[in-house]
Structure 1
Amino acid sequence: MAGPDPAAEGALKRPQPNFFTVLARRDFRLLWVGQLVSQIGDAFYWLALLITVNDLTGSTKAMGVTSVIVTLPILLIGPVAGVFVDRWDRRRTMIVSDLLRAVLVLFCILVREAQEIWIYWVVGFAVSAVGAFALPARNAVIPLLVEEDELLPANALSQTTQTLALIVGSASAGFVIGALGARVAFVADSLSFLLSALTLWALRVPPVREAVAQGLQAVGRQFQEGIAFIAQSPTVLALLAVGTVFSLAIGAVNVLWIPFLDRYFGVGPEGIGIVDASQGIGMLLGGSVVGNLASHFPHSGLVSGGLLILGAVTVALALSPTFAYILVLNGVYGLALTPMLSGLYTLLQRAVPNVKLGRVNAVLGALMRLANVLSMAGAGWLGEVVSIRTIYIVCGGLTLLSGALGVRILREPAPVLGGEGGQGPRSSAPGA
């Protein structure tokens, strides 16, 4: 008769990981602080950009063009950026990206009239192009700073951080823009990137050892490896299918959000900040539940269930009779959004070796962005000829379809661990 397994007993005695577990890790904590600061600045930047374009042009087409231009670099540059992220020092990549964006966003203060809107487009493209390197670098660093069973709370905290930024950034940005103008918001974003770079400077990231060939041909081969891995992984293929359908919906929702609030409810900058903050509060609650209570929930269920709720809420938003309904429904939307995204990122990180995570993440993101760009471009045109409420109902139906597809095809992957992927922290225990 076999005796007790000490490793199994230790695993049973180990408390369920939560937000405090991952925040006790010094380097993850530094990454978290940098993300919080820069994303508060991003909330200022994005809200200022959209409000100014809407005020200067009053056109949903201009809103669509702006959103498409800002998204294009992730589609065009993202896949190749992911290859370089896997080859470069990821910490240095994030720092340089922050410093470049700190300079670039300041050019937005030059815009004073509708004829100068092209400056927003050039700057937006450049900022997004640099960000195409920063985002896969950050996503690939997270599994190196926490244990494998801490990935869900780590990703939930990352989403909750985005939520805190949304609450603080959007609510304060709306009032700041209304009182002081958009230029102050652009300066605030620049300062946030500088503070983020300073925080990341102290970060220690364990090395990921992989033999890396040199030259453009080697880069091309690594790019092909990323695509080949996606094609061979049932989990990643399922995430691609579900994410693409959702991207077709969310692109239109985002482009038409400010015109929707303006046309039907007469909401100005201050009101937009309050609406976005209501979603942020919902995301904060959703992130807290996932990070502290749902570490052993099926990740595929979080994704599929979250999408089904998001689809139903989008339809309800389209039919909202008053502004009060918008506030409540947007909070419910946020409540479902954080668990869905946390589950999605955790599935990806568990299914992909860390040495390939940058390029796989970037290729996957670019393919989803293609659907996002098509949705935004179509919404910008349709918003001039079709009721925005009707477009939102269609988007809600697409989101429900993505959730049903997730129920059908998403499954839990076997985790990819240290030897091949280099996952898990190489530093000392939590609190070090």
Structure 2
Amino acid sequence: MFPRFSKRLRTFPKLALLINRNYTLLWLGGTISLIGDILFTMMLILWVGTLLQNQSAAPLAVSGVVLAAALPALLIGPFAGVFVDRWPKQRTMRLMDALRAVLVCSLLPISGPLPLPLALKLTIMYLVVAAVSGLSQFFTPATKAILKEVVPQEQLTRASALTVGAGVFSWGIGSACAGICYVSLGIGWAIALNAASFACSWVLIGCMHVSAAERRASAHPTSLWHVLTELREGLRFIGGQLQLRTLLLTESLFSFGWGIVSVLAFFYITQNIHVPMSLFGLFSAVPAIGGILGTLLVDRAVAKVGATSVYARAFLFAGVMVIVSTVPNQAIIDLVGFTLIGIATMQAEVLVGPLVLFATPEQMVGRVFSTLGTVTTLSSFLATFLSGYLSSTLLQGVVVHLPTGELNATNLLHIGAGVLIFVGGLHASRQFRRLR
């Protein structure tokens, strides 16, 4: 008995690894940092809402937090990719973690009883959130680019599945704990916890063993002209690669379609299928639950039909399911439908990283991922604006009568979103067929 136990104890460190030691450290650092980010952002929103409680400017102030976090992806993202391709990835990630920890800690003075005007507190908060988000535009592409260094090529899909699954899990944990932590601990602790998460990520990433070539990567100074030239080279490279062009357009259509679904989720769930407010969180979490299942199933699906086929079919299926589950306005059908949608879309999202890495040389990876992130963020922004505008103006009061029930503006926009996602899958299917 004891010899068997001793043997298992000796092999436990290897069993605990995800793919290998380097990836395990990268995964842990990224997951801890992401949970801290989500907890921090949610608690900031609660803090702003509390500071402006019962004031008409409260919704605008809360949206300012989201806008401050999102704008750097549009303004800094494309240029960040140029520097990520030049700089050592490990050193870049550690530098961004250190700077983000310091910036987050700078909010501690205004979180206390310091007698500052509310407008000044909000301004400082927005600036810090924007700066932290700007640094993340360097950190995120670097984590994706370094995968080629730390993970064997045949394990890239599994690594991507683990990373995406951790992201879904982090969103669930961070969102669920935000309200409890805010009430019981206060905003000061949220700031401290987020800073600690960056420090933890800094330590874990520093423990990774990377190649000498990666450590020697040069970060020599450059002019704005050189940055723009290299950015243009990256865009030209994407334009010349069928696989990357296909991914860019398909991901844009999906981001636009899913952006519509996300913006209208509250109205659809509470008004169309008449779910009580107390169950809104449960229904909102359904796609995430399906997403976790999708990350567990993607390896087997890729082994059977190939990565490009799984990617295209996932969006075709998801588009159809968004349309089919929208029409009846039935809660049970939506629960099943959006679970299946979560499985399909998350399988597709898992494969984006490996498909980009397979088609991109190492010196271009940062620019490709940054461009992809910028375009998809812009698509989500446009979807947020247009869906809100259309449902409040042109489609307000529009009702289509069907034997299964009535379709209002929310239903019609959901159907349009499903069509966009399906078109994206159809485009991917046709273009990837040309690569075989």
TM-score by length of 2: 0.76
Matched residue, 1:27: 22
Out of 365, 372, 395, the residue aligned to residue 417 of structure 2 is 395
Label 1:51 to 1:382 Cα distance change in 2 as closer, same or farther (>3 A): farther
| 1:166/1:276 contact within 8 Å kept | no
State the 1:399 CA deviation: 1.5
State the 1:31 CA deviation: 0.3
Name which of 177, 200, 208 aligns with 2:205.
200
Q: Where in structure 2 are the equivalents of 1:202-217 lying within 5 Å? A: 202-206=207-211, 207-208=213-214, 214-216=221-223, 217=225
Give the aligned partner of residue 430 of structure 2: 408
Q: Tell me the alpha carbon deviations over residues 290-342 of structure 1, each in whole angstroms, 9 at most, x when there is no partner.
A: 24663464211222222233334444665685766665544333322321112
Whole-angstrom CA distance in 2 between matches of 1:346 and 1:177: 38
Q: Which has the higher contact order (CA 8 A, sep 6+)?
A: 1
Q: In 2 relative to 1, CA 194–248 (structure 1 residues): closer, same or farther, beyond 3 Å?
A: same
C-alpha distance in 2, partners of 1:52/1:260? 27
Tell me if the contact between 1:22 and 1:150 (Cα under 8 Å) persists in the aligned partners. Answer: no
SS in 2 for 1:82: helix
Of 212-221 and 78-87, more deviation after overlay is shown by: 212-221
User: Deviation per CA, 1:233-267, whole angstroms, max 9, x where unpaired?
Assistant: 11111111111111222333334445665666453
The answer on 1:350 being equivalent to 2:358 is yes
2:262 to 245, 254, 258: 254
Distance 1:275 1:241, change over 3 A: same
- Give the match for residue 73 of structure 2: 74
Structure 2: segments with no counterpart, 5+ residues: 1-13, 397-408
Residues 88 and 217, structure 2, Cα contact 8 Å, conserved in 1 = no
The equivalent residue for 2:277 is 267
**How do 1:7-406 and structure 2 match up within 5 A?**
23-49=18-44, 67-105=66-104, 107=107, 110=111, 121-177=126-182, 184-206=189-211, 207-208=213-214, 214-216=221-223, 217-257=225-265, 265-267=275-277, 272=281, 274-275=282-283, 277-291=285-299, 294-295=302-303, 297-315=305-323, 318=326, 328-382=336-390, 384-385=392-393, 386=396, 387-406=409-428
Displacement after TM superposition at 1:347 (Å) = 0.9
Identity of aligned residues (%): 28
Q: Which moved more, 1:343-352 or 1:108-117?
A: 108-117
| 1:201-230: CA deviation from partner (whole Å, max 9, x where unpaired) | 212233348788752133232212211111
Q: How many residues align?
A: 394
CA distances 1:107-141 after superposition (whole Å, capped 9, x unpaired): 39749999665555434322221111111101100
In structure 2, what is the Cα distance between the partners aligned to 1:390 and 1:324?
Answer: 20
How far the C-alpha of 1:362 sits from its partner, in A, is: 1.1
| Separation in 2, partners of 1:66, 1:261 | 25
Cα shift at 1:51: 5.8
What secondary structure, in the 3-state scheme, does the structure 2 residue paired with 1:23 have?
A: coil
Give the whole-Å Cα distance in 1 for the aligned partners of 2:266 and 2:124: 21
CA pair 68-159 structure 1, distance change in 2 beyond 3 A = same
Provide the rounded CA distance (Å) in 1 between the counterparts of 2:163 and 2:118: 36
For 1:314 and 1:114, locate their aligned partners in 2 and report how far apart those are by CA, in whole Å.
Answer: 43
TM-score, length-scaled by structure 1: 0.77
Aligned in 2, Cα 1:91/1:243: closer, same or farther, shift over 3 Å? Answer: same
| CA drift at 1:25 | 1.4
C-alpha contact (below 8 Å) 1:82/1:136 kept by paired residues: yes
Mapped partners of 1:253, 1:184: distance in 2? 33
The answer (yes or no) to whether the contact 2:88–2:218 under 8 Å persists in 1 is no
Q: What CA distance in whole angstroms lies between the structure 2 residues aligned with 1:192 and 1:212?
A: 27
The answer on whether the counterparts of 1:351 and 1:413 sit within 8 Å (CA) in structure 2 is no
Deviating more after overlay: 281-290 vs 229-238: 281-290
Q: Paired residue for 2:3?
A: none
Give the letter for the 1:306 counterpart.
A
CA–CA distance in structure 2, aligned partners of residues 351 and 21 of structure 1: 31
The amino acid of 2:153's aligned partner reads E
Alignment match, 2:10: none
Change (3 A) 1:194 1:331: farther
- Asked if 1 retains the 8 angstrom alpha-carbon contact of 2:19 and 2:155, the reply is no
Could you say what the CA RMSD is over the residues aligned between the two structures, in angstroms? Answer: 3.7
Tell me the distance in 2 between the aligned counterparts of 1:403 and 1:164: 26
1:419 alignment partner in structure 2: none
